[in-house]
Structure 1
Amino acid sequence: MKKLYLTFLWHMHQPYYKDDEAGVYHLPWVFLHGIKDYIEMAKYYEIYNIKAIFNLVPSLIEQIIDISKNFEQDILINKISQPVANLSENDKKFLKKALFWANEKNMISPSSRYKELYIRYGKNDLPIDSLSDLLDLEVHFLLSWTGTFIRDESSFIKSLILKDRFYTEDEKDQLLSILKSKFKYILEYYKTLKNRGKIEISTTPYYHPILPLLLEPASFYEALPDISIPTNAIQLTEDASWHVKEAKSLYKKIFEEDPKGFWPAEGSVSTKTAETLIRHRLIWMASDEDILSRSLNLDLKDNNFRNKLYKKYYYSSDDQNIFIFFRDKELSDLFGFVYSGLPPEKAVDDFLGKLKEIFLKCNFSPHVSIILDGENAWEFYHNNAREFFDLLYLKISETEWIETITYSEAIYKTEIGAEELQYVASGSWIYGNFSTWMGHPEKNKAWELLYKAIETYEKYKNNISPKKRNEIEKEIHVAQGSDWFWWYGDDHYTEQADTLDYLFRKHIINIYKKLSIDPPDELFIPIKKFHKKLKINPPIGEVYSNFDARLSSIFEYLGAGDVDIKYDLSSMHSDSNHLQRMRWGFLGNYLLMIILGNLKPLLTSKEDVVLHIKVNDDLIKVYLNKRSMENSSTKMVLKDYRVDESIELLFEIDKKIINTNIQLSFDLLKGDRIIEKAPVYSPISIFLTRKSLNNWVV
């Protein structure tokens, strides 16, 4: 009987936030995602008759174990645990910023008290000064990060949510006690589900390094031959093997058997990576469809070849095979970036409809892989995506032609076609290359500092004790993690970029200190120079344009407003990049706007390509590959447009919205599928005025 086999792989990962020298965790994400996401995501597989793979990174496992022994190591939890009356002024200043590290719409706004404090925090004339304010803020922060299942199981937590304000220290302590007890149970819970056959657990090289760049830095050039990498780059084959071997060792210690498969960090693979994993007796690994496309030298976006994505593949070395599974990029990205903005019923129907299309199109039993971050997307959904997942898993479990399986099971499903790969292309799940971790001047600088430290260690390591060597090698291995390089450059944004920069440099400084060598001065200078924020440069005068969707003259849009509409790419990443910047300005009574990007490849699509422009509560639809537009706005009326690499728009503006803020966002659709959103999460607020203004930052 023909079926569609469906595999979910949820990647659970945090970099190593601990400074071992100081004995403290500088960022709280292990604990916070533990109580909100790690338990929550696994719980569904206890409830519903479905299966999945959870990829637990060793650096995360290590931190869960360590924090469970002493929660006070976490700087934020340490300060929250203290009575607010005992806090220093510096502690209060730190907390008043950190306690708003939560999604405004879905985590802060549901509480009237938390939202009130958030609004006051944004206004300097209404400071949060009283001890009662700060105590309420601490409790609401913890509640906002508490998973829905933990809330459901605790009448005490429900009572705190209803109370909403005037919390006591005893109530805060009791809440912390409940959350800590749940956190301690995470690994045991996963082990229980695995032993019941409900989930498979896979893992990743230990500190989440980009394995191909350790094995062969020059593999960077395979996809990007014209971009420079550090001149002092060195092969770190032994380090790569260490990350794999120690990941397997920790896995066996916790789960009492060897792992069968790896999700290499960021889906980063190469032929040498496959051969390394084969030598370490792994039977499967996974990556992205872009890697399969390059490995086969086929365009998998072409409908003539698309079905090849839904088979399984293997690579052979020394008479041993490793099976390779490839994520469906479009479907996976819908979970990360699109379905959060839809009602659960519509999102679930859309997903099942797309699976049905694949099922009917294939003349074999297709195997579809949904692989994405299992922790960062859900704060952008209502109620931590509870209604979405409940409905999704219920409908999947009731659909006869869908069967959820793990990769270890898929290997033995003869109904799923298998093909051999002669080589595995070098690249990752982002753009199919390694530009997210190397190539930008900041990223290269970080690698250069690390390579220098490694060379210094190699020079002196025979003169130090085995204990000291182990300590130094841990610092080296931690610094090889992908996350440090992710946040350098101008492609991702986080409020904690400076802390992450400090931690990376601190790990390298520790190498020199343990060698009793003065660290180079450059290690005390921040690497991070590009701080990606929503910087809106407003217009400084009227604009001129040829109105041809091209900037063919330096005088076009001179003095226009300008904003990066992809500023909010963060710990998640959308691969689509057709929409990039927006410029705008007045020309007489009209508003001119140009969305700069890479739209030309879409213009030959046989499907309708439509740009949805959301202006406050109104929707404007612009068809890119045919002349048509639909306008529901009476305040901002689209009169004409042009499309080339970019799209240029001419609006007639109602005087009533001049000198007011308008909310703008853009969805790009191909057929009925949203292929890109800009901004990814929240609309941009533009103050629409003809007056000249100074630049401002939101």
Structure 2
Amino acid sequence: MPKIYLSFVWHMHQPFYKDLVSNEYKLPWTRLHALKDYYGMVKVLEDFPQVHQTFNLVPSMLVQLDEYARGVAVDPFLRCANKDSASLTDGEREFILRYFFQANVQRMIYRYPRYGELYEAFLAVNENTSRALNTFNDTAFRDLQVLSQLAWFDEEFLTHDSDVKALVSKGRGYSSADQSLLAAKQLEKLGLVLDVYRDFSKRGQIEVSATPFYHPILPLICDSQIAEISHPYVALPPRFRYPQDARVQLERSRDYMQQQFGQAPKGLWPSEGSVSDEALCLAHETGFRWFATDNGVLARTIDHAGTPDVTYRPYLWKQGKYEMHGLFRDHTLSDLIGFVYSRMGAKEAADHFLAAIRANCAPILRAGRDALVPIILDGENAWEYFDLSGRPFLRELYRQIEEDPKMEALTVSEAIAKVPAEPIGHIFPASWISTNFDIWIGAEEDNKAWEYLLRARETYDKVKDHVSEEARCLAFEELLIAEGSDWNWWYGPEHSSANRTDFDRLYREHLANVYRALGLLPPEELSRPILKVDIQVTHQSPRGPLRPDIDGQISSYFEWMGSGSYSIDQRQGAMHGQRFLIQELHYGSDGAWLFIRIDFVKGMEESLRGAELRFQFQGTEVTVPLVPLYETPPHDPLLLRAAYDQIFELRISQRAVAKAHPIRFQVSVWKDGLPLDALPQQGSIELLSHELNEWLG
């Protein structure tokens, strides 16, 4: 009798948050999702032994998870959570207020009454961290520190660990001992995650598949011009073509998974379901035997609507000596789990899901054919929106599947061994989103990110044979990280996040690290955000000529009177990792000299020690160290003089740097080869020629 085979593939993925130079994790999401979802999503299957599933694990995520489990990951969020509240600095308190409410309000914050109270208290001061410092005492901060971490603990831990249950029951008034206990429990639970995958994999109840190591969009790494096929005439950056990098990402993925699980994966979920013939050839050559993507890709491949009769079967892609089995996810049903069922009761959602499958499969079964239903989706982010992290829904769903004799849940490898495959001779190049690559390339921000990546990759090729093996390996590792899809997910108009600025900064830091590893100064462009950040700017044009003394002192209020000024509202853009160093900039001219004054943020003296300023004029870059006095030799056309003490002051020959009018410039702060701040964040400050003419008559 024909049967319905369900093939669930849960994709577990977080970006690579670690900076390889500082060894610091810039964002906490790998740790938090490991506490909340990675363990429990597998462990719940223990009660349903007949339900087999596939879990797709991203190797670069597992690297981070392993470091957390061994207690060697450095994470400023975790440091703030574990520090005694009485010894928190004001900066750390503001950090906690800004970031520790980043959780689903209804399902995670209000689940814990005290957490909800603290959240409402923060709302009462309009989420103003400075005002909140006056209302949150040490006890409130400690409760927030504990509950913001406890809210991410998996249902398995909340239910079966007596220490964790006791912390939940306590509810408020937590002590330093409670903080220490919770910190120890985090480490303990993180250490369980990889073992549960190994255990269920050995049992044969789950199959582990993988993506390329750092989650790149393989077709675009092979050849970025391929985006034109799915989106004709799309605006593209200069061509990026490095199939050798794509091969490395695939090979390293299999090698790492072999090391962790004792066997290399057969299956590949190519990052974001992105496929092309060239990418599949590489996947076959490196040992993968099946892939999965979206049924929208299938529809454009076979020029047929992605209906159940064509979606519910495996396919065999074959070109010459290369071949791979392929599954094409039911887009509609997968998205119901991801985006709809969180608003329904557990039984109501499970009933609806299985009824839809039975209705879709009925004509296929009547025709005497088995139906293979691919359900493929994100295995972590959806559960924040479900009651009790979606466990009641999953339990009801799995119970009904086990009880239905006409239905069976299989791993992908088990399913393609049972159901005959339909041959296809090519694959349409696209991702699972809108059957194109528009999320990652084509928009202005996306294209700029690709341009920066290409320049770094070309620089690596030119320099790699002239540096040590250690430097070459570090530079190449940073390039592979920068090739990941996650950075461009946030560029362009499609997505937004409270951490969007953090992703932008981290991407540029990875590229800057490429240059640093090669012994080169990173280009000035990496000092400025790629994002079109909405930051409030106060800009006053100059009102008269200047002639200040360049001594680094605030000699007189009148010395810079009439200057132009430029400052930003730092509260708008000061996300984690984005420390503002420049408080305000003043500028002006007397017709012969351009004068610039920089007031730095108070308390940043140590951060500025050993730093330098880079001034970008029209086609001219001038680097000035932050030292008490700096002057160029008399024969130097810049005739530059700079002084740094209470403030920074600079005088430079206008003729040497201004080849034309208006005069444009931008300043950035660099230290140890990394950009720390820039003003303006985007674009340049202009000194218009008509302003000079008006002053000078």
For normalisation by structure 1, the TM-score amounts to: 0.74
CA contact (8 A) 1:245 1:280 kept: yes
The CA distance in 2 between the partners of 1:128 and 1:419, in whole Å, is: 65
Q: CA deviation at 1:236?
A: 0.6
Name the SS for the 2:296 alignment partner.
Answer: helix
The CA distance in 2 between the partners of 1:15 and 1:377, in whole Å, is: 17
Q: Say if 2:212 is the partner of 1:205.
A: yes
The CA distance in 2 between the partners of 1:290 and 1:308, in whole Å, is: 11
Q: CA deviation at 1:143?
A: 1.3
The CA distance in 1 between the partners of 2:144 and 2:167, in whole Å, is: 13
Q: CA deviation at 1:531?
A: 6.4
Q: Say if 2:199 is the partner of 1:189.
A: no
- 1:175 maps to what in 2? 182
Paired letter, 1:403: E
Please, which of 249, 253, 264 is the counterpart of residue 259 of structure 2?
A: 253
The CA distance in 1 between the partners of 2:196 and 2:513, in whole Å, is: 35
The CA distance in 2 between the partners of 1:93 and 1:490, in whole Å, is: 29
Q: CA deviation at 1:72?
A: 5.3
Q: CA deviation at 1:248?
A: 0.5
Q: CA deviation at 1:233?
A: 1.9
- 1:268 maps to what in 2? 274
Deviations 1:363-383 (A, max 9, x none): 211100110000100010111
Name the SS for the 2:417 alignment partner.
Answer: coil
Larger Rg: 2
The CA distance in 2 between the partners of 1:151 and 1:78, in whole Å, is: 23
Deviations 1:568-615 (A, max 9, x none): xxxxxxxxxxxxxxxxxxxxxxxxxxxxxxxxxxxxxxxxxxxxxxxx
The CA distance in 2 between the partners of 1:147 and 1:71, in whole Å, is: 22
The CA distance in 2 between the partners of 1:190 and 1:214, in whole Å, is: 30
- 2:412 maps to what in 1? 407
- 2:140 maps to what in 1? 133
Q: CA deviation at 1:429?
A: 0.6
Q: CA deviation at 1:128?
A: 4.3
Report the CA distance shift for 1:72/1:511 in structure 2 as closer, same or farther (over 3 A). Answer: closer
The CA distance in 2 between the partners of 1:530 and 1:337, in whole Å, is: 28
Name the SS for the 1:377 alignment partner.
Answer: helix
- 1:348 maps to what in 2? 350
Paired letter, 1:481: G
Q: CA deviation at 1:473?
A: 0.3
Deviations 1:142-198 (A, max 9, x none): 111011111111122222222211000101211221121110121111001100011
- 2:477 maps to what in 1? 474
The CA distance in 1 between the partners of 2:432 and 2:322, in whole Å, is: 25
The CA distance in 2 between the partners of 1:338 and 1:468, in whole Å, is: 48
- 1:80 maps to what in 2? 81
The CA distance in 2 between the partners of 1:370 and 1:246, in whole Å, is: 27
Q: CA deviation at 1:493?
A: 1.4
Paired letter, 2:467: I
The CA distance in 2 between the partners of 1:213 and 1:396, in whole Å, is: 39
Please, which of 200, 221, 228 is the counterpart of residue 221 of structure 1?
A: 228
Stretches of structure 1 that go unaligned for 5 or more consecutive residues are 533-698
The CA distance in 2 between the partners of 1:337 and 1:477, in whole Å, is: 32
Deviations 1:338-361 (A, max 9, x none): 000111111111001011112212
CA contact (8 A) 2:316 2:421 kept: yes
Name the SS for the 2:8 alignment partner.
Answer: strand
Q: Say if 2:39 is the partner of 1:33.
A: no
Q: CA deviation at 1:35?
A: 0.6
- 2:312 maps to what in 1? 310
Name the SS for the 1:122 alignment partner.
Answer: helix
- 1:603 maps to what in 2? none
Please, which of 242, 264, 268 is the counterpart of residue 248 of structure 2?
A: 242
Q: Say if 2:514 is the partner of 1:506.
A: no
The CA distance in 1 between the partners of 2:40 and 2:145, in whole Å, is: 22
- 2:107 maps to what in 1? 106
CA contact (8 A) 2:472 2:518 kept: no
- 1:68 maps to what in 2? 69
Q: CA deviation at 1:466?
A: 1.4
Please, which of 281, 292, 295 is the counterpart of residue 286 of structure 1?
A: 292
Please, which of 322, 325, 337 is the counterpart of residue 323 of structure 1?
A: 325
Paired letter, 2:370: S
- 1:54 maps to what in 2? 55
- 1:371 maps to what in 2? 376
- 1:17 maps to what in 2? 17
The CA distance in 2 between the partners of 1:44 and 1:72, in whole Å, is: 28
Deviations 1:94-153 (A, max 9, x none): 011111011000000122211110011112266542110000001111111011111111
The CA distance in 2 between the partners of 1:96 and 1:72, in whole Å, is: 23
Paired letter, 1:33: H
- 2:303 maps to what in 1? 297
- 1:94 maps to what in 2? 95
For residues 354-365 of structure 1, the aligned pairs below 5 Å read 354-362=356-364, 363=367, 364-365=369-370
The CA distance in 1 between the partners of 2:523 and 2:223, in whole Å, is: 26
Q: CA deviation at 1:530?
A: 5.6
Deviations 1:245-303 (A, max 9, x none): 000000000011121111000000011111111111211000000110011011225xx
CA contact (8 A) 1:278 1:317 kept: no
For residues 508-587 of structure 1, the aligned pairs below 5 Å read 508-529=511-532
Deviations 1:635-671 (A, max 9, x none): xxxxxxxxxxxxxxxxxxxxxxxxxxxxxxxxxxxxx
CA contact (8 A) 1:212 1:268 kept: yes
Count of aligned positions: 525
Q: CA deviation at 1:58?
A: 0.6
The CA distance in 2 between the partners of 1:67 and 1:152, in whole Å, is: 23
CA contact (8 A) 2:325 2:421 kept: no
Q: Say if 2:397 is the partner of 1:395.
A: no
The CA distance in 2 between the partners of 1:151 and 1:274, in whole Å, is: 42
The CA distance in 1 between the partners of 2:517 and 2:531, in whole Å, is: 25
CA contact (8 A) 2:25 2:74 kept: yes
RMSD after superposition? 1.4
The CA distance in 2 between the partners of 1:208 and 1:389, in whole Å, is: 27
Q: Say if 2:490 is the partner of 1:487.
A: yes
